[in-house]
Amino acid sequence: MIDHPKILITRKYPAAGINLLEQERFRLTFWDQDRPMTPEELAAEAKDHQALLCTLTDRIDKPFLDRCSHLEIISQFAVGYDNIDIPEATRKKIPVGFTPDAMSEATADIAFGLMIAAARKFFFLHKTILTGQWGHFNPTGHLGFELKGKTLGILGLGRIGIKMAQRCSAAYDMPVIYHNRNRNLAAEKQLGARHVPLDQLLEQSDILSVHCALTPETRHIFDARAFRKMKPSAVFINTARGPIHHEPDLIEALNQKQIWGAGLDVTDPEPMAKDNPLLSMENVCVLPHVGSGTMEARDQMSVLAAQNIIEFYNTGKVPHIVNPEVLA
């Protein structure tokens, strides 16, 4: 590298990756406030930088890309990239890196944990203690259900979905059905997972866990029609992206007892309002989008995000790239 490119770093990311960038003597500008930049701030800050290290709360849309078409690379600290207008970045020939695999274990743990938490009403029962309502042992009060042998349905059996399926299969002997655009033959072989049409997934799952990307096809795929098809005993788990479910329809389905419960690590909008009815439902557990929130995952994400930039400037390749056609 002759002159060291300037990178705008939009949040405080773990040191593991930032150190790598410093070692390569990139010039780093840090946004040091404890909030994402507004679109205006982001565009203004990015103006005199060649590279951007950003994350899911940064809106990299067409207006931003029109103003910042000089960017040489965008490196996203996340596996999901629905905050980025990928077709527009591709038209402008800007490669977009991302960080797959780094958080698969961590996110599957959250899905698995939410499944148990919802089936046994963890969050609601915790609240009864906080509000002085523990009372006496009640032989018939607030009963949950057991997971042994229940059918796990997965929408999007990819990197994270397979980890959830492995956990459920090993812990509770749960048969696995799934719906994907393409069949996952490795999972079929390893876990006996069965590929089924979407309607069958809805009708047969006892636990339905979402692990697909947010795309125009999956936005609001869980709407009133979908919830009506699900079992009244089913638990809906979403650790992928909030807009994959239509939140008013989910609330209605739970109120009407069309499904039994829900475990959400993602909501729409985020952050969720503190008076959202989901938060006071007995069979619902909500977390504030912390799927990748382990030290291990976040360190690894920062390393991958840094490597995407370093490799790009050193070799012209981006190891984890969303739009490889840009570099072809």
Where do contacts with ligand GLV occur on this chain (CB under 6 A)? 56, 78-80, 103, 291-292
Minimum Å gap between C-beta 102 and ligand GLV is 8
Q: Give Cβ neighbours of residue 92 (< 8 Å, ≥ 6 apart).
A: 65, 69
Instruction: Answer yes or no: are the C-beta atoms of 98 and 322 closer than 8 Å.
Output: yes
Q: Which is nearer to ligand GLV, 161 or 258 (CB)?
A: 161
Q: Which is nearer to ligand GLV, 94 or 240 (CB)?
A: 240
Q: Which is nearer to ligand GLV, 103 or 164 (CB)?
A: 103
Query: Which entry of 167, 289, 298, 320 is annotated as an active-site residue?
Result: 289
Minimum Å gap between C-beta 299 and ligand GLV is 14
Minimum Å gap between C-beta 257 and ligand GLV is 30
Minimum Å gap between C-beta 206 and ligand GLV is 25
Please give the biggest Cα pair distance in the chain.
Answer: 73
**To 10 degrees, what angle do helices 104-119 and 159-172 make?**
50
289 classed as catalytic: yes
91 classed as catalytic: no
Q: Which is nearer to ligand GLV, 78 or 226 (CB)?
A: 78
3-state secondary structure of 43: helix
Q: Cα separations (Å) of 307 from 10, 13, 18, 65?
A: 17, 14, 10, 23
Q: Is 267 left (phi over 0), alpha (psi -120 to 50) or beta?
A: beta
Instruction: Answer yes or no: are the C-beta atoms of 39 and 63 closer than 8 Å.
Output: yes
Minimum Å gap between C-beta 288 and ligand GLV is 12
Residues in the chain: 328
Query: Which entry of 241, 245, 298, 320 is annotated as an active-site residue?
Result: 241
Q: Which is nearer to ligand GLV, 80 or 156 (CB)?
A: 80
- How far apart CA 217 and CA 203 sit, in angstroms, is 20
Minimum Å gap between C-beta 307 and ligand GLV is 16
Query: Which entry of 70, 126, 228, 270 is annotated as an active-site residue?
Result: 270
- How far apart CA 94 and CA 178 sit, in angstroms, is 34
Q: Which is nearer to ligand GLV, 8 or 56 (CB)?
A: 56
Q: Is 19 left (phi over 0), alpha (psi -120 to 50) or beta?
A: alpha
- How far apart CA 139 and CA 83 sit, in angstroms, is 48
Q: CB atoms < 10 A from the CB of 34, how many?
A: 7
Query: Which residues are known to be catalytic?
Result: 241, 270, 289
